Amino acid sequence: MLSLTQKLGKRVRFAKVSASDTCLRIYMKLSAAEKLRRLYNQFSSDDHVLIVINADPDAISSAMALKRLLWREVAGVTISNINVVERPDNLAMIRLLRVALIHINEIDESRFNRFVIVDSQPDHHEAFAKYTPDVIIDHHPDTGVQASFLDIRPKYGATASIMTEYLRAARIKPSAKLATALFYAIKTDTDNFKRQTTIEDVRSFQFLYRHANIHLARKIERSDLKLDFLKYFKRALEHKHMRKGMVFAHLGQVMNPDVCVLIADFFMRINSVNWSIVSGLCDKTLVLVLRNDGIRENAGKVAKESFGLIGPAGGHESMARAEIPLADLKHVVDYKNDKKLLNWIVNMIEKKTGKK
């Protein structure tokens, strides 16, 4: 393993970690205007800036906000994603808000002289390791990273909230697209304010609400399907097994187990359904997604008790998952036979939920 300073590489301006380094970190006590001034101090008009992100709504919108802040302040800003964007809502966001993203493999780093990471820190992903970021703005727990400008606020629900504060400090009225992106990012990162949220997140959200296009945000939010998922819905509807408020479906071979999650959640929308168990085969593993209403029973417990002996299984009251290697499953059931496998799953779960 490389040490952090090794990872940060050659251009180490602040390599020495000492107590005085903490003064480089920007803390809450500075005013928004002062933070903005220090951020702008990092850049000059002939800079070519590369913002590197692990693209999700928060990272994308934060990069868009920084690009807006640097408009006419630098020679150019490029946003580059280290990951491949696959989630349908993220793809919808990029398409509808016309976000220009270039995958990291297509970037010629020598064209850039300033590097920024938003909504992540270098330790989060090995792809960040080859950059020495000049600026890091993030809301994840502080990994002790060094950079010329750091604004890490772990209490915040989203980096988008931090970026909104910078826009407001700069008196920039965000375009509908930018506001929608930031608005949607706060919604997703806080899971609609059900997860870690500060009053600052709420304030940013209220501000963005006034500028965002709510219809666009709703379309993005609802785009959780890909066209080729529909065949799995068809299979699930045709071969589902329903009994006493429990619905089971086995999808057979799936490209991506996310589709099990979508269909399990879909069945939970039926008013008379309390349990939904959807499975699929992917990467030589049987993936089981369990959902329940979280009132009477515990999905995590049922997953663990039913399948824990043959593979990793567990979760919360209402959501759980089990992953059974096919190499182990073959001793228990003929998994190539969809019907037999579904029966086996029904049996294993009914035993534990007392429905048998």
Shortest Cβ 83–Mn ion spacing (Å): 14
Nearer to Mn ion, 185 or 278 (CB): 185
Q: How far is the CB of 124 from Mn ion (least distance, A)?
A: 11
Nearest distance from residue 196's CB to Mn ion, in Å?
Answer: 10
Which tokens hold the place of 39? 């951020």
Which one, 189 or 258, has the nearer CB to Mn ion? 189
In what side-by-side order are the strands of the sheet with 313-315? Answer: 241-243, 246-253, 275-282, 285-292, 319-325, 313-315
- Burial group, residue 247, by CB count within 10 angstroms (0-12, 13-18, 19+): buried
**Whose Cβ is closer to Mn ion: residue 180's or residue 274's?**
180
C-alpha count within 13 angstroms, C-beta hemisphere, residue 100: 8
- Please count the residues of this chain forming the interface with Mn ion, following the rule CB under 5 A: 4
Binding residues for Mn ion restricted to 102-121, rule: CB under 5 A: 119
We find the least distance from the C-beta atom of residue 65 to Mn ion, in angstroms, to be 13
Task: Give 159 or 197: the residue with its C-beta nearer to Mn ion.
Answer: 159
* Residue 346 to residues 57, 132, 248, 275, 292, Cα–Cα distance (Å): 37, 52, 7, 12, 15
Verify binding: residue 58, Mn ion, rule CB under 5 A: yes
CA atoms of 215 and 204, how far apart (whole Å): 19
Determine the residue with CB nearest Mn ion: 58
Residue indicated by tokens 């059900």: 194
Amino acid at 280: G
58 versus 151: smaller Cβ distance to Mn ion: 58
Strands 285-292 and 275-282: antiparallel
> What is the pairing mode between strands 275-282 and 241-243?
unpaired
Nearer to Mn ion, 119 or 201 (CB): 119
Question: What is the nearest approach in angstroms of Mn ion to the Cβ of residue 159?
Answer: 5
Q: In 170-293, where does DSSP find H-type helix?
A: 176-189, 199-211, 214-222, 230-239, 258-268
Q: Could you tell me the smallest distance in angstroms from the CB atom of residue 57 to Mn ion? A: 8
Residue 136: closest CA among 27, 11, 15, 52: 52
Give the residue with the Cβ less far from Mn ion, 134 or 189: 189
Half-sphere exposure of 37 (CA within 13 A, CB side): 5
In the complex, minimum distance from the CB of residue 191 to Mn ion, in angstroms, rounded to a whole number = 12
- Between 199 and 227, whose beta carbon lies closer to Mn ion? 199
Binding track over 174-213 against Mn ion, x by CB under 5 A: ---------------x------------------------
CA distance to 147, 152, 188, per residue, from 26 (Å): 11, 7, 26
Site residues for Mn ion, 119-178, by CB under 5 A, read: 119, 159
Nearest distance in Å: CB 62, Mn ion: 8
Binding site for Mn ion (CB under 5 A): 58, 119, 159, 189
